């Protein structure tokens, strides 16, 4: 019976380290790989045919070896982009090699027969679009901020005139710079007087600022739910922009209708895990006080007070100790 857990991630990943340590304590076979190591540090041979209708073969890293058919679960964390492996090549060769690696090796690793993916990269990609997230929240009956996505300055001005305060958010983080590091542009208040024709160059996401009394991070792993109220000492609009070690965390109970909506949200995208952000506008026990902001289907949670329990929840899912009762869970 398949029992090995594959962990796809880069070399430095403390979150993955914790999950791997928990699996090791349970004596579960674990193979950690970064697909972008393809080459001497990662070799493989996979085969399929009329008599073997699913991919089989072996994959070897510098220290481990695994039969593809032995993989029961995949923890897809944050592997290095394939392009980084070929960045020394001229642009056309780099793009060709990266695409071949993604479609060849990635095409096999993302389609391991009967393996449970937490989460499958295709599901992560599908759920990564903020417009899709907001629409799903609204359809599930969750409160969301009034939102405008536009490249028309006149529509942006009209939207701002209809709301007391308007904030701007990016759809994605900043791409990698020449130093290899990524960045972020935090949610921020905007002055409609600054809206001009430069907005037309690309889409912009504007939202009415929610008169919040606090923020909540809800981490869902399978059927287990962990929630923490977050307060920044300086009362920042976006708590992520400061020192996370200074954040104040308080356990909070999630109202049953909210919790059920989150499970349905994950089901709609074929996800097993997600980190949800909410703004509170009133008492925590009142469903209407919870305004859904976004969901990160590959979010960070190692900094939360519940991190040890979340780690065990991941280990339970990956070892099938907890059955994923979503029929949606992505399996090839």
CATH number of the structural domain spanning residue 250? 3.30.470.20
Average pLDDT, the chain: 90
pLDDT score recorded for residue 186: 79
What integer pLDDT is reported at residue 228 of this predicted model? 94
Identify the pLDDT of residue 276: 97
Average pLDDT over residues 309-320: 94
Q: Is residue 325 part of a domain?
A: no
Residue 9 shares a structural domain with residue 110: yes
Domain membership flag for residue 135: no
Cβ–Cβ < 8 Å for 218, 227: yes
- Average pLDDT in the 22-42 region? 94
Regarding whether 259 and 201 lie in a shared domain, the answer is: no
- What's the pLDDT at 179? 64
Count how many domains the chain has.
3
Can you give the pTM of this predicted structure? 0.90
Residues whose CB falls within 8 Å of the CB of residue 158, separated by 6 or more in sequence, listed in order: none
In Å, how far from its chain's centre is CA 43? 28
Q: Are residues 227 and 306 in the same domain?
A: yes
- C-alpha distances (whole Å) from 118 to each of 157, 207, 320 are 42, 31, 12
CATH code where residue 10 lies: 3.40.50
Same domain, 33 and 48: yes
Q: What is the pLDDT of residue 330?
A: 57
pLDDT per residue as tens digits for the range 208-217: 999 988 899 9
Q: Judge whether 137 lies within some domain.
A: no
Residue 138 belongs to a domain: no
Q: Is residue 140 part of a domain?
A: no
Per-residue pLDDT tens digits for 109-135: 999 998 999 999 999 999 999 999 999
State the residue range of the domain holding 166.
146-208
Residues 221 and 291 in one domain: yes
Predicted pLDDT at 326: 47
């Amino acid at each position: 019976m398949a029992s090995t857990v594959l962990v796809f991630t880069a070399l430095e990943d403390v979150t993955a380290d914790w999950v791997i340590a928990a699996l090791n304590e349970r004596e579960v076979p674990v193979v950690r790989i970064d697909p972008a190591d393809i080459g001497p540090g990662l070799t493989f041979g996979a085969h399929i045919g009329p008599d073997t209708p699913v991919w089989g073969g072996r994959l070897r890293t510098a220290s481990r070896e695994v039969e593809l058919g032995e993989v029961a679960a995949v923890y897809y964390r944050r592997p290095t982009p394939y392009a980084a492996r070929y960045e020394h090549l001229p642009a056309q060769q780099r793009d060709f090699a990266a695409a071949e690696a993604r479609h060849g090796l990635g095409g096999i690793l993302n389609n391991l027969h009967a393996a449970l993916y937490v989460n499958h990269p295709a599901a992560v990609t599908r759920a990564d679009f903020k417009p899709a997230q907001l629409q799903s929240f609204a359809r599930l009956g969750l409160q969301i901020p009034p939102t405008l996505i536009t490249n028309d300055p006149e529509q942006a001005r009209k939207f701002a005139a209809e709301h007391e305060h308007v904030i701007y958010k990016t759809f994605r983080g900043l791409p990698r710079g020449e130093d290899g590091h990524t960045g972020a542009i935090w949610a921020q208040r905007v002055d409609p007087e600054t809206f001009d024709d430069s907005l037309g160059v690309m889409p912009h996401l504007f939202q009415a600022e929610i008169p919040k009394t606090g923020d909540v991070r809800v981490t869902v792993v399978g059927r287990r739910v962990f929630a923490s109220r977050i307060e920044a000492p300086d009362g920042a609009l976006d708590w992520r922009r400061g020192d996370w070690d200074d954040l104040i965390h308080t356990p909070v109970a999630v109202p049953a209708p909210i919790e059920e909506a989150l499970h349905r949200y994950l089901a709609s995208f074929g996800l097993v895990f997600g980190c949800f952000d909410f703004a509170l506008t009133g008492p925590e026990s009142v469903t209407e006080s919870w305004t859904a902001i976004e969901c990160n289907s590959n979010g960070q949670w190692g900094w939360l007070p519940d991190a040890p329990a979340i780690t065990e929840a991941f280990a339970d899912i990956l070892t099938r100790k907890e059955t994923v009762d979503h029929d949606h869970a992505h399996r090839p």
